[in-house]
């Protein structure tokens, strides 16, 4: 949540460079934005509430600038609350990604000392705290360091001083330094993707580290000790990544159509590390798959595959609700963490506890250099390319396809799993290019756009698929949707079935097919309309979307019609498809 971007170099259009960097970061938050630039011996700030516009004019000439795109946590979405924030004497500006959990107590102490506050944000507390520490510090870096010692929570900042120094400090939320292709150019950002076209090498800051940029040079300093630290540069491997819609109306639709490609990326990876992880899992006492949001549904599907095909004791955990398992983690366990960003705060907290217990960690992440990747004993990359739409689609497909192949490897049938994924990719491509399929889904979206409630039913391999379908419908349409196990229907939700209610049912040709059809009969008998997603039609279906029978990988295919339905519903309702209200893609705060 929130995106940070900074530029230090020789070019005189630093503000414009930062502006375009923020546009590549706005999936992290788009409530407001701001840019601060060095203008002579003073700092000029431009900021606005609302989404970042397509273009910007009238920025002053400058070679140093920092910027921020906000997802609001403290204080309303206003221009005043937008970052960066000025020091009282305008000697520096500061932007933050994170939450100061103890900001109220810090604010009260600072107010007693006479400091005034002009915003509702917790970020302004960091600004005033640094000002206060600077009165007694040996130098400005020490003021930043000692201020960080007083903060609780995950906080990362970037600031610009009027003498032209840029400082970044990390604790929890990500921060990456980019070393430009042009000599003397340095970048700071919340992720590599935002500056990928311009940099040759990167340095990922670790927690409790500061980077100081001045006179076209940088150094890394420990927040704890104040001493300069060694760092490791990494070659930028995504410099040619394109971020455009490629002829599609929205990024979401483009990314759904990239699903066959991401499956190919999974089965074409070197199998050696997958087989090493499979061997470790076979000897593990327990396997925990952990994620949040869409990655939470993926984690549950991965655990399902490990139970069914790997015969493992595997359970799934939601990141924010995993704390009651912390004391159960042991060195004999394995944790699997799928994540798009690799920076999800509540998952990172769980992994930190796991590392303290010496539990082995495996991860599948799409963002290079992420914290989850760096914490993992078995770090896997999706290599799916950038996913710009805030609603995750292709990365979910990547995660569950990887989980399936992992489970088949544990089973001892890696080659069979790979062949099944190869067939799945071909069928997915045919499905996405069927004009009849798209016509049907558009028609269904038009029928459902007036709905107040949508229910989804599934079982076994399709249970997490309908849960993820629910997530996509809620995110894209803002319509209330509720997913539940088909067998649990009669225990409570049957009371809500009546004429006018729509129920989406996902069915595969497996051993639980008849159980799910029983649920279809039960809701249909109460007058509800049933939308069936299945290989075969059924007399109780009001509307049928046909999908191929692919056996073990059927569930991975059935997510496509649900993703497409969410997309076309969002379009039909006039919602912002790629940037749904109130959510951000990278959740770096708890």
The whole-number pLDDT of residue 295 equals 96
Q: Band the pLDDT of 590: cuts 50, 70, 90.
A: very low
% the chain with pLDDT above 70: 97
Pairing of strands 234-235, 334-339: unpaired
The whole-number pLDDT of residue 241 equals 60
The whole-number pLDDT of residue 246 equals 84
* Separation between Cα atoms, residue 300 and residue 298, nearest integer Å: 5
The whole-number pLDDT of residue 470 equals 97
pLDDT tops 80 at residue 419: yes
Cis-peptide, bond into residue 154, ω within 30° of zero: no
Q: Which of 15-19, 273-277, 448-452 has the highest mean pLDDT?
A: 273-277
Range of lowest pLDDT (63-72, 182-191, 207-216, 457-466): 63-72
**Mean pLDDT to the nearest integer, 68-76:** 77
- Mean pLDDT, the chain, as a whole number? 92
Q: Bigger pLDDT: 570 or 341?
A: 570
Identify which of 157, 179, 178, 171 has the alpha carbon closest to the alpha carbon of residue 209. 171
Q: Please report how the helices 394-411 and 554-572 are oriented relative to each other, as an axis angle in degrees rounded to 10.
A: 170
pLDDT tops 60 at residue 106: yes
Q: Bigger pLDDT: 567 or 241?
A: 567
Give me the domains of the chain, ranges plus CATH numbers: 3-235 (3.60.20.10), 246-431 (3.40.50.10490), 434-578 (3.40.50.10490)
The whole-number pLDDT of residue 70 equals 81
**Mean pLDDT to the nearest integer, 416-424:** 98
**Mean pLDDT to the nearest integer, 60-81:** 84
Q: Bigger pLDDT: 55 or 290?
A: 290
**Mean pLDDT to the nearest integer, 127-141:** 94
The whole-number pLDDT of residue 511 equals 86
* Separation between Cα atoms, residue 544 and residue 375, nearest integer Å: 45
Give one DSSP letter per residue of 514-550, joined into a string: HHHHHHHHHHHHTT-EEEEEESS--TT-SEEEE----
The whole-number pLDDT of residue 588 equals 47
2 given a catalytic annotation: yes
**Mean pLDDT to the nearest integer, 60-88:** 86
Q: Bigger pLDDT: 190 or 128?
A: 128
Q: Which of 45-59, 376-390, 413-427 has the highest mean pLDDT?
A: 413-427
| CA 147 to each of CA 100, 125, 230, 293, 468: distance values in angstroms, whole numbers, following the listed order | 12, 10, 23, 33, 41
Query: Considering all CA atoms of the chain, what is the largest pairwise distance in Å, rounded to the nearest integer?
Result: 79
The whole-number pLDDT of residue 589 equals 47
**Mean pLDDT to the nearest integer, 39-44:** 90
CB 176 within 8 A of CB 191: yes
Tell me which of 2, 254, 459, 467 is the catalytic residue: 2
* Separation between Cα atoms, residue 249 and residue 239, nearest integer Å: 25
Tell me which of 360, 394, 467, 585 is the catalytic residue: 585
CB 403 within 8 A of CB 298: yes
**Mean pLDDT to the nearest integer, 219-238:** 91
Tokens of 408: 């088949």
Q: What is the pLDDT of residues 232-262, one digit of tens each?
A: 998 887 755 666 788 999 999 999 999 999 9
b/e sequence 388-427, b meaning 16+ C-beta within 10 Å = bbbbbbbbbbbbbbbbbbbbbbbbeebeebbebbeebbeb
């Amino acid at each position: 949540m929130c995106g940070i971007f900074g530029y230090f170099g020789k070019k005189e259009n630093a503000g414009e460079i930062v502006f375009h960097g923020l546009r590549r970061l706005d999936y992290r938050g788009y409530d407001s934005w701001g840019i601060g630039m060095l203008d002579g011996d003073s700092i000029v700030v431009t900021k606005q509430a609302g989404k970042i516009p397509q273009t910007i004019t009238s920025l002053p000439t400058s070679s140093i600038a920092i910027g921020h795109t906000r997802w609001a946590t403290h204080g309303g979405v206003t221009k005043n609350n937008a970052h960066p924030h000025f020091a009282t004497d305008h000697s520096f500006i500061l932007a933050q990604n994170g939450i100061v959990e103890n900001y109220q107590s810090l604010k009260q102490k600072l107010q007693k000392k006479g400091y005034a506050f002009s915003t509702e944000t917790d970020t302004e507390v960091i600004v005033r705290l640094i000002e206060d520490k600077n009165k007694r510090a040996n130098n400005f870096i020490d003021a930043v360091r000692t201020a960080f010692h007083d903060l609780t929570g995950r906080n990362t900042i970037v600031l610009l001083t009027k003498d032209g120094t840029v400082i970044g400090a990390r604790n929890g939320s990500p921060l990456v330094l980019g070393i430009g292709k042009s000599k003397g150019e340095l970048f700071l950002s919340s992720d590599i993707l935002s500056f990928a076209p311009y940099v040759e090498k990167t340095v990922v800051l670790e927690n409790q580290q500061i980077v100081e940029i001045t006179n076209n040079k940088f150094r890394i300093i420990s927040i704890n000790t104040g001493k300069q630290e060694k760092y490791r540069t990494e070659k930028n491997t995504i410099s040619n990544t394109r971020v455009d819609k490629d002829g599609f109306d929205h990024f979401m639709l483009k990314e759904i159509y990239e699903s066959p490609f991401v499956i190919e990326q999974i089965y074409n990876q070197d199998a050696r590390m997958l087989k090493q992880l499979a061997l470790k899992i076979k000897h593990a006492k327990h396997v925990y798959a952990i994620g949040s949001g869409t990655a939470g549904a993926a984690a549950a599907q991965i655990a399902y595959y490990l139970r069914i095909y790997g015969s493992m004791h595997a359970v799934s955990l939601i990141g924010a609700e995993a704390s009651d398992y912390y004391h159960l983690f042991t060195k004999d366990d394995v944790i699997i963490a799928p994540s798009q960003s690799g920076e999800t705060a509540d998952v990172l907290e769980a992994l930190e506890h796991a590392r303290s217990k010496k539990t082995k960690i495996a991860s599948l992440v799409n963002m290079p250099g992420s914290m989850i990747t760096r914490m993992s004993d078995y770090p896997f990359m999706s290599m799916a390319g950038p996913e710009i739409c805030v609603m995750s689609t292709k990365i979910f497909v990547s995660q569950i396809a990887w989980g399936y192949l992992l489970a088949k490897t544990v089973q001892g049938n890696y080659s069979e799993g790979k062949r099944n994924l190869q067939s799945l990719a071909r069928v997915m491509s045919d499905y996405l290019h069927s004009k009849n399929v798209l016509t049907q889904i558009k028609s269904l979206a038009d029928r459902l756009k007036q709905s107040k409630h949508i229910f989804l039913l599934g079982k076994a391999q399709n249970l997490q698929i309908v849960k993820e379908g629910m997530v996509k419908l809620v995110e894209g349409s803002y319509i209330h949707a509720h997913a539940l196990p088909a067998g649990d229907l009669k225990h409570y939700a049957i009371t809500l079935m009546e004429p006018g209610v729509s129920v989406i049912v996902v069915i595969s040709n497996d051993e639980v097919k008849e159980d799910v059809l029983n649920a279809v009969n039960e809701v249909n008998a109460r007058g509800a309309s049933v939308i069936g997603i299945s290989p075969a039609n059924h007399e109780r279906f009001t509307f049928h979307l046909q999908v191929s029978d692919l056996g073990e990988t059927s569930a991975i295919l059935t997510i496509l019609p649900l993703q497409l339905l969410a997309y076309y519903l969002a379009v039909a309702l006039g919602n912002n498809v790629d940037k749904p209200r109130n959510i951000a893609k990278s959740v770096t705060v708890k």
